Amino acid sequence: PPPRGRIPNGLSARERMERKLLTKRGREAYKQRGSTIEAVFGQMVMRGLVRFKLRGQEKVRAEWSLWCTTHNLLKLWRSGWRARQAVE
């Protein structure tokens, strides 16, 4: 049977996650992750992000921001989004 009650203190992150996944609510929440988060990473890998090209935390953060910006711009472009004309 799935565990009931609060998650006890002192469990490692792995143990906490294992306990959550034993519950119906936890499994349902984790199922949604596949269609939201994991798809984005899969799309980035298909575009060539296998590993970062730069070294150093600041440079990697900048490279990651560029990948995320590219992903979001492609989503906007595919949706047919058009910028509003500036009012003169």
**58 and 24 inside one domain:** no
Which two structure tokens, joined as six digits, stand for 45?
Answer: 């890998």
What percentage of residues in the chain have a pLDDT greater than 90?
33
**42 and 65 inside one domain:** no
The residue-averaged pLDDT of 2-21 equals 86
Instruction: For 17-39, write each residue's pLDDT tens digit.
Output: 888 888 888 888 888 776 677 78
**36 and 65 inside one domain:** no
**60 and 46 inside one domain:** no
The residue-averaged pLDDT of 80-84 equals 80
What is the domain count for the chain? Answer: 2
The model's pTM is 0.55
Q: Does pLDDT of 61 surpass 90?
A: yes
**Alpha carbons 44 and 37: distance in angstroms, whole number:** 11
Q: CB of 63 within 8 A of CB of 52?
A: yes
**Alpha carbons 21 and 33: distance in angstroms, whole number:** 13
> Which amino acid, residue 39?
A
Residue 56: give the domain boundaries.
Answer: 52-88
**41 and 56 inside one domain:** no
